[in-house]
Amino acid sequence: MSAHVVGNTGVMLGRSIRHVTRSMDTIITVTITPIALMLIFRYVFGGAIQTGTGNYTNYLMPGILLIAIASGVSYTGFRLFNDMQSGIFERFHSMPIARSSVLWGHVLTSLVSNAISVVIIIGVGLLMGFRTSAGVVAWLAVAGILALFTLALTWVAMIAGLAASTTDGATAFSYPLIFLPFLSSAFVPTDTMPGPVKAFAENQPVTAIVNTVRALFEQQPAGNDIWAALAWCAGILIVAYALAMRAYRRKIA
């Protein structure tokens, strides 16, 4: 049975990866906004922002990557919603296959397509002066945290894709996610923020994740941030998965 799941999921993954590669515009739209933000913050605001570190591109990079992932998962919701609307979801569910492979195909595709966006953005960042002393272990840790963040948000996207009744509903959930980095330590240090804003910024998941990734890139100890980041991602993942499964069971027999 489990070989069945793996084989079926592989076919589903192949299918939706083709959807990604045949509509490269989705990768472009996912990467263009973060890249534009990176340019604006680096070349317009950057000179006036005091971060206490030398290289502002380095400072920006983690937050930019999170923005890219937050907007990238909206396409996962979109692709799942389209499957539900066309008859193909029912076709798959009426076939003698592991039903879970239908959803997992979308989840794995989300991981792959977001990884592509992240690599592109890091590439542009390198051109703009992003530098890191991170070794293999630190890079793997960065990849792991970004993958966990992607997985958590992907399951949020699955809820939207399963429960939405319009295309807009299936994708709109990502807008507030895209703004979370602005209320965090992603672009400016939290010290200068007024009390309530600072309190929010310091206690929301993006700050913990940004600080962790930044520390890993700079070869600094990540301290408690890494545990906070992991706890946030795991928590969001568990809650989103449970809600997505509930929405899924409502849709199928």
Partner 1 sequence: MQTPPLAIHVSGLHKSYGKMQVLKGVDFAVAKGSIFALLGSNGAGKTTVVKILTTLLKPDGGKATVAGHDVVSKPEQVRESFSLTGQSAAVDEILTGRENLIMVAKLRQVKNPRQVADDLLQRFGLAEAAGRRVGTYSGGMRRRLDIAMSLIGNPPIIFLDEPTTGLDPEARIEVWKEIQSLANSGTTVLLTTQYLEEAEKLADRIAILHQGTIIVSGTLAELRRLLPPAKAELVERQPTLEEIFLAIIGNKEGVRR
**Contact set with partner 1 (CB under 8 A):** 7-8, 11, 14-15, 18-19, 22-23, 86-88, 90-97, 252-253
Closest CA to 15 of 88, 74, 73: 88
Q: Which amino acid is at 50?
A: Q
Place of tokens 């209320």: 183
| Residue whose CB is less far from partner 1, 88 or 197 | 88
| Residue whose CB is less far from partner 1, 18 or 246 | 18
Cα–Cα dist 178/145, whole Å: 18
Name the minimum Å distance from CB 66 to partner 1: 28
Cα–Cα dist 30/153, whole Å: 15
Name the minimum Å distance from CB 97 to partner 1: 5
| Residue whose CB is less far from partner 1, 13 or 240 | 13
**Cβ atoms of 106 and 177 closer than 8 Å:** no
Closest CA to 104 of 204, 206, 241: 241
Name the minimum Å distance from CB 81 to partner 1: 14
| Residue whose CB is less far from partner 1, 83 or 218 | 83
Name the minimum Å distance from CB 117 to partner 1: 19
**Alpha-carbon separation of residue 170 from 70, 99, 160, 202 (angstroms):** 14, 21, 5, 29
DSSP state of 241: H
Name the minimum Å distance from CB 96 to partner 1: 4
Place of tokens 């879970």: 100
**Cβ atoms of 222 and 142 closer than 8 Å:** no
| Residue whose CB is less far from partner 1, 26 or 207 | 26
Q: How far is CA 121 from the centre of its chain?
A: 13
Q: In sequence order, what are the residues at sequence separation of 6 or more whose Cβ sits closer than 8 angstroms to the Cβ of residue 171? A: 74, 75, 77, 78, 81, 160
Cα–Cα dist 235/117, whole Å: 24
Name the minimum Å distance from CB 87 to partner 1: 3
Cα–Cα dist 22/16, whole Å: 10
Name the minimum Å distance from CB 20 to partner 1: 10
